[in-house]
Structure 1
């Protein structure tokens, strides 16, 4: 069997060149929101950082300010259907951005540092602020008023093999008298650094070599993005309309030169085309000093065209997938603030989702019948909620809420079914400011995941030879989450926090076999109950007292342990694709005398293991290291130089293949490939203009 590999490298491309040119663009003031409590000392739960705090690091925009914020690690949010519960941990003027497809880090890039009045770190909750299910939020408060501003940035990333991957960004904004506009255009190339060249070997259970090959692959693509927004007064409040269009073409080409036992050239070519659109609107109006109404509408579409071809003479294979999806959301929230210590809000949200998918797989010209290859899935989903934040005393804050979700899902085509789901989702969070520098936080919540429509339809990888069946009859994964955290501040700007989290899982979504009259396939399935435990350490260490003036070390490490019963063997194992260890760190030093900042980013290596009924796959990604330096050549001109991947990080994939189900069959062979990716040189020049 042959299966198409989903191009996960798309996300890596975005993380490389496309998102790299940081922007400095004025965005209009956010719509009216219930005011935050006045900035105060840590014991009030809100710490205010003025622009002067960040000045030495020469930030160009709000994102670069948040990256230096003590005790804060940016979370851009979850890609889920619906609006409630999918936001990240950063707000702008007390509000979550309306867009779902415009990444949060990109939106923060478009807020120039000159437009930021202060950044507030909200720890444990504050009356009038929706914490989005987070215990720590950053709030970017912008200065009132906006004149014409712009940014133009060009960048180039020279890869080790000579490829030049350039990018261009243009951003403009302006307005007056409450009528403001903004627009941006980005164009750039990027590459997947998860593996490019290296050896491959297939061995028998006795250790003898069955196949030896040299692998040469290349993955890169082009992304184009247009965004715009406009706001003005309306009906005693303000309305803001935003739009986004996104195009991507990604390709992956692999040549596998078999050198043993018989010379042979195996080729796999993948092309991934996508087009996304989004239109959103938000209306806010205050009724007096205590009541605020917020209305949100959102419509987004996604189109995917994925093609793959495989050649291993005399065998050939072709895979083609066309997938169109859309989401329409309406949401209303009424907020009431009794006083500086108590606020309540209630609201509702409705969403309609649709997916049309057609899949075709052929082997040697013969059509292969795949389960759930061609389906249409529709979901109607509604949710009502109420939340409250109460600062009982200066030391204690309580946040409580209840959400109730109901949805109806239907599927037509290869699989016909209808189902209705209902879930109540309570939440309780308590914060204790034990001392001005010590805070303890507790959270207990029921979390209900969102079904991934991609799991409903068949998929295939011509690279690995694995077919994945679709399964529209899935229930969302649920978890009762218990979390406790302690945060200690020291040396004025130093922070260390320890978080322990336990999740009791129900309806875990993993992999299980699906049997047909003629074959057996792997498919996403609910495989029962499980557990997940996490321990997270976050550190911000100012290095001035250690002799490194202007230096800072920031990092976060997460340990995970999970358990679930394997549906094939009945034995206890970890959950598929859940990394036991994640870590990242950044060292930076400001050099005001030289108008420069330099440092090193570290992204730790990780392991993921996935379990199928007849295969165990281990992916190991090595540590990625990136030194950087930034120079202010003129007040409005910044030069940044990076040396991506100085460690020449690669990825190792080991697949243990069984003759049949793992509980009754022996190992057929082990396939191992260790692919490397070389170093690069990245240069960006950023010019700002306007008032």
Structure 2
């Protein structure tokens, strides 16, 4: 999905929840002064913004940008930068932003912004973390919402959502059910051309496509006291039925119709549990168990007067995790943590490709991969002085991977992952942060199996014989606060990479295929600026501008040409900004979200593909409280009708020895959509 904030009926996943009672404005309920790297924002601080849930509160938190974490196997190291009551959520398949949306504002006491670390807080490997602190107790609460998204081409996508929660005396429960139809800009309309190596246009076409589908989710959780501690169990089921349809009408030199039909079916299940218990005032135990499965069925059919093709991928994967952690508060200034976890992962994949009715042999088409991972770790956070915080950790990871089927192999991997972070509160409003860490990436099971995009003429081989990417990361950040709620954070990060995973050719008896491969060493540099500017001092009461920009530089050696280039699909520049203003007199909030254009380029052995969004995605919105428990939200998405430009340079063979055969250039536009949502809350 190419648009970062595509509003659709699926945007009910972004539906605000709960209801903030009538409370003072932010100016009347200011945050606490920075103390030992922690700033506390009471719930009343967000009341003027009509924030309905924890996610909406975090959107207005000065100097904070939500990171939902990484999709990895195992539990350690994959968390985002938001905690709930000091703990990372147990679920791995339930997105962090979704979980935050299910915490009503009425249940939140405050949000603590932890900068640089604090004793007793697991920073999840982040330098800045937000901790959502809930109020104890509470009766029955609920939310019901309906939404509709009117698409520019006449489609209307609707969605509904229902959530309930309650409990007392330490026994709490919650549940949710939602479904929604949605579209993304994977389906667009516009012209396309093919350009010969001499620069002349050899083909003109008109492309009409659409991409949409239905998603359904059920979640539930229950917690109660147990064996002197507290136990919680979470469950989730998720269904996704997505389709992509494209008609490419060649109008010159002769009329032809090329069609592509893709269908994506997916089902996820997850069951997780957490047990926590205190052994005295300073020692805590946490035990976590998770079991999740994912089944996928992907079918792609292509047809033209000269060729037909069909691709099918069946995947079944599962993961089982066990984890235990002991935390010790040695003193008010020193906390320690030791623990370990084990995980077992399995992937069973079956791939078929036929062209013109003839089956094509693909490398790693049918494989079964099993992985056993173990990790032990020790962490410590120490505040030697009120203005200084030191955080150190050492993790040791070992894994065993075996593959059966088309590719048979066994390999063992071992990595030590040290980390050291330091924070200095140089002045009351100025903080400096440093971090040095060895980061070891995780192998993506998607890279292990073959894949195809028939309408683009690409077939990629699988490669189970990969090593994880490793990097020594050095990071420095300066945070400056101003005008009470104003913040600017400038971060520079350098990664010295080994075993970079990119693209390289694989030679087989059936031909040459592109595949994910380790291509050697490389570098990546990032400059990140995060800015929050309150505008009350400029005469716009209740207004705020918040944004973030990231500039990246990277370099690796191309395995085909031997020349230096950037890392595939790494965007050199990304930025986003939001203007919002609270209008208490009108019981409304309005604003504009702007997501900047970007470019990413993929380098395969016989082609170079560039996707470019040259203009910004602009979304004005307004939210009106019709009644104390009834909220109306309206959005106009893609106001300037941003398009997507895709250019593919196709070579006659490997790029180092073959001439350019042609260039495929598509200039497609998704169009505007109008989204409306009505949300009702009820309960205590």
Work out whether 1:169 is the aligned partner of 2:167.
no
1:679 to 665, 672, 681: 672
SS across alignment from 2:69: coil
Does the CA contact (< 8 Å) of 2:606 and 2:653 recur in 1?
yes
Residue deviations 1:595-654 (CA, integer Å, cap 9, x gap): 100000011111000000010000012421100000111111101011011111221110
When normalised by structure 2's length, the TM-score is: 0.97
The Cα of 1:11 is off from its aligned counterpart by 9.7
The Cα of 1:15 is off from its aligned counterpart by 9.5
The Cα of 1:548 is off from its aligned counterpart by 1.1
2:265 to 252, 267, 273: 273
**What is the match of residue 594 of structure 2?**
602
**What is the match of residue 26 of structure 2?**
none
SS across alignment from 1:94: coil
2:388 to 390, 396, 411: 396
Work out whether 1:631 is the aligned partner of 2:624.
yes
Work out whether 1:77 is the aligned partner of 2:69.
yes
The Cα of 1:23 is off from its aligned counterpart by 2.6
Residue deviations 1:299-347 (CA, integer Å, cap 9, x gap): 1000000001101013111011100100000000000001211000000
**What is the match of residue 532 of structure 1?**
524
Structure 1 residues 452 and 127: CA distance shift in structure 2, 3 A: same
Q: 1:330 & 1:451 partners in 2: Cα distance? A: 20
Does the CA contact (< 8 Å) of 2:7 and 2:149 recur in 1?
no
Q: 2:566 & 2:658 partners in 1: Cα distance? A: 21
1:310 to 286, 291, 302: 302
SS across alignment from 2:455: coil
The Cα of 1:406 is off from its aligned counterpart by 0.1
Q: How does 1:439-518 map to 2 (within 5 A)?
A: 439-518=431-510
What runs of 5+ residues in structure 2 fail to find an aligned partner? 21-30
Structure 1 residues 10 and 391: CA distance shift in structure 2, 3 A: closer
Deviates more, 1:219-228 or 1:645-654: 645-654
**What is the match of residue 227 of structure 2?**
235
1:211 to 203, 208, 232: 203
Does the CA contact (< 8 Å) of 1:398 and 1:428 recur in 2?
yes
1:41 to 30, 33, 46: 33
When normalised by structure 1's length, the TM-score is: 0.96
Work out whether 1:113 is the aligned partner of 2:105.
yes
Does the CA contact (< 8 Å) of 1:191 and 1:219 recur in 2?
yes
**What is the match of residue 27 of structure 2?**
none
Q: 1:43 & 1:156 partners in 2: Cα distance? A: 45
Aligned pair count reads 673
Does the CA contact (< 8 Å) of 2:9 and 2:157 recur in 1?
no
The Cα of 1:585 is off from its aligned counterpart by 0.5
Q: How does 1:10-49 map to 2 (within 5 A)?
A: 17-24=11-18, 41-49=33-41
Higher RCO by CA contacts (8 Å cutoff, separation 6 or greater): 1
Work out whether 1:522 is the aligned partner of 2:514.
yes
Work out whether 1:665 is the aligned partner of 2:665.
no
Q: 1:304 & 1:25 partners in 2: Cα distance? A: 38
SS across alignment from 1:158: strand
Q: 1:457 & 1:24 partners in 2: Cα distance? A: 43
Residue deviations 1:234-277 (CA, integer Å, cap 9, x gap): 00000000000000100000000100111011100000000000
Does the CA contact (< 8 Å) of 1:13 and 1:189 recur in 2?
no
Q: 1:684 & 1:10 partners in 2: Cα distance? A: 19
Q: 1:134 & 1:54 partners in 2: Cα distance? A: 24
Does the CA contact (< 8 Å) of 1:13 and 1:221 recur in 2?
no
**What is the match of residue 30 of structure 1?**
none
Q: 1:509 & 1:529 partners in 2: Cα distance? A: 10
Does the CA contact (< 8 Å) of 2:8 and 2:675 recur in 1?
no
Q: 1:10 & 1:117 partners in 2: Cα distance? A: 30
Q: 2:8 & 2:317 partners in 1: Cα distance? A: 21
Does the CA contact (< 8 Å) of 1:193 and 1:649 recur in 2?
no
SS across alignment from 2:47: helix
Structure 1 residues 196 and 166: CA distance shift in structure 2, 3 A: same
The Cα of 1:21 is off from its aligned counterpart by 2.2
SS across alignment from 1:56: helix
Does the CA contact (< 8 Å) of 1:195 and 1:651 recur in 2?
no
Structure 1 residues 357 and 268: CA distance shift in structure 2, 3 A: same
1:646 to 639, 642, 661: 639
The Cα of 1:207 is off from its aligned counterpart by 1.2
SS across alignment from 1:65: helix
The Cα of 1:13 is off from its aligned counterpart by 8.1
Q: How does 1:240-259 map to 2 (within 5 A)?
A: 240-259=232-251
Deviates more, 1:439-448 or 1:39-48: 39-48
Q: How does 1:263-342 map to 2 (within 5 A)?
A: 263-342=255-334
Work out whether 1:546 is the aligned partner of 2:522.
no
Q: 1:549 & 1:595 partners in 2: Cα distance? A: 14
The Cα of 1:41 is off from its aligned counterpart by 2.9
Q: 2:285 & 2:604 partners in 1: Cα distance? A: 49
Q: 2:635 & 2:8 partners in 1: Cα distance? A: 16
